[in-house]
Structure 1
């Protein structure tokens, strides 16, 4: 409050404003929508928000360094669809996962290499690789849009895991968010990411390995997308590749920006 007893709105930061709006919207929905506060509905909301938050973590690390990853949703959906397809056709679980993880890392490293060393704008690179991943996997590696999880597989069992009646996705999101926070805030490499995003030329001049770190960020984003895809399949017992054509990608970028990360780094 100021001297005449009025609140000083300038003290509110962006995160505080977003949090206040979220509380108001939640209260309005609870009052105006019958069944909104039911346990099943709240669990569904928490699960979807957790997966969105995980994807936004990977996107945030890329955006902080003045990049963007438009291939994240394609990697999330198509990598898990391929993994489930391999399982459904009899491929050993460990071998199938190695194939998929190698493919995900290859796409992430390719994104980073083209952006860092070929100086191709990130928006064009990741849009192209996302389109390629979707088209190639859908036409060559899977046979249907929605690929089910094999019955009794660990992904299916993971979807039923709860602690204190809270879905496991929430704890995975919280754990990843905490690790990303610690990495960016308290490690040398995390600070390097901020320096490179603020002024890449100056960062390079003082010896920060800007280009290798850029490659690493896109690889990390791809792996985070795979984790989000596995959690999606765990909660739904399948993965629907049509999500690639949804608005999920815009939601991810929006969450990162609302969280206080500028698209300019």
Structure 2
């Protein structure tokens, strides 16, 4: 276990530190307060999504629909306010949609026993299509006067620290408390480590699995609200981007085993810092978007291969069809 911990956390952190030092030496303007805040602010939403994915992956699942939860409910808030509804009513409608979406995902996975990969892939496509076909008038939902003041969620600051960074830090504290200090967190780890054993000991595995996907969807919605407040709009076509691969990259590269039952918030933080540093450095070096995707794809492939050695799948996982 000590070797595995070294492999998953220590080595990744060492790579981050080495990359950070190299960029500091070769890239002018990298190690400045302004650039560090920009780096963290740019990956804050990605880190929050990584926390949502971590809750699911620790419980031996995966949620490909996170980007739909990021885009559609926050887009609904902007669209409803634009149409004349109050902000509280719009937020309530968005959170109700998100909760229903998470419940459907969880029910299909826990009770209908549809593999999480296929469930969330289909549900994400459905929610994104619903938004584009029935909820939004344009692909980019614009800001409106009824949202005045709400932009501070993404553009304000606390003691000089941008609010997205503050919200990421608060999310880390909340998820760490959930996973390490509550009975629900202990159940999630137990289910991820041994689902059948958890069921035999009396843990309500099916309701906990449903709760995992509800929490992931709600965190995704919160990340979307921060994103919308940061750019004063919601580009709903973000669902078609490669963002979900970045989220998986953060989780896997940080050291959360895809076989479940391992990892925590510190792994998400390490993965987010590494990806943020890598993306910031490539941006300063003016690497093209296609080139960045190529590099991220290679890194993700290496991370998944390494995870298969550090956290080998057991026969039960293979039979369940999990990743």
State the alpha-carbon separation in 2 of the partners of residues 209 and 146 from structure 1.
41
> Which residue pairs with 1:5 in the alignment?
none
Classify 1:33/1:144 alpha carbon distance in 2 versus 1 (closer, same or farther; 3 Å). Answer: farther
Residues 1-265 of structure 1 correspond to what in structure 2 (within 5 A)? 12-37=6-31, 40-151=34-145, 153-265=148-260
Q: What TM-score, normalized by structure 2, do the two folds share? A: 0.75
Kept in 2, the 8 Å contact 1:73–1:248? The answer is yes
Kept in 1, the 8 Å contact 2:141–2:234? The answer is yes
Kept in 1, the 8 Å contact 2:47–2:168? The answer is yes
Instruction: Show structure 2 runs of 5+ residues with no match.
Output: 261-323
Classify 1:243/1:32 alpha carbon distance in 2 versus 1 (closer, same or farther; 3 Å). Answer: farther
Moved more, 156-165 or 133-142: 156-165
Structure 1 residue 10: deviation in Å?
Answer: 8.8
Kept in 2, the 8 Å contact 1:87–1:96? The answer is yes
Moved more, 11-20 or 181-190: 11-20
Larger RCO: 1 or 2 (CA < 8 Å, sep 6+): 1
Kept in 1, the 8 Å contact 2:153–2:164? The answer is no
Kept in 2, the 8 Å contact 1:149–1:156? The answer is no
Kept in 2, the 8 Å contact 1:63–1:263? The answer is yes
Instruction: Show structure 1 runs of 5+ residues with no match.
Output: 1-8
State the alpha-carbon separation in 2 of the partners of residues 242 and 15 from structure 1.
34
Kept in 2, the 8 Å contact 1:30–1:36? The answer is yes
Q: What TM-score, normalized by structure 1, do the two folds share? A: 0.91
State the alpha-carbon separation in 2 of the partners of residues 11 and 149 from structure 1.
45
> Which residue pairs with 1:3 in the alignment?
none
Structure 1 residue 11: deviation in Å?
Answer: 8.4
State the alpha-carbon separation in 2 of the partners of residues 163 and 97 from structure 1.
23
SS in 2 for 1:36: coil
Moved more, 117-126 or 236-245: 236-245
State the alpha-carbon separation in 1 of the partners of residues 245 and 210 from structure 2.
23
SS in 2 for 1:147: strand
Q: How many residues align?
A: 257
Deviations 1:174-200 (A, max 9, x none): 111122112211222211111111111
Structure 1 residue 142: deviation in Å?
Answer: 0.6
State the alpha-carbon separation in 1 of the partners of residues 23 and 75 from structure 2.
34
Moved more, 58-67 or 235-244: 235-244
Deviations 1:81-118 (A, max 9, x none): 11101111111111111111110000000000000000
CA RMSD of aligned residues (A): 1.9
Kept in 2, the 8 Å contact 1:155–1:230? The answer is no
Kept in 2, the 8 Å contact 1:116–1:215? The answer is yes
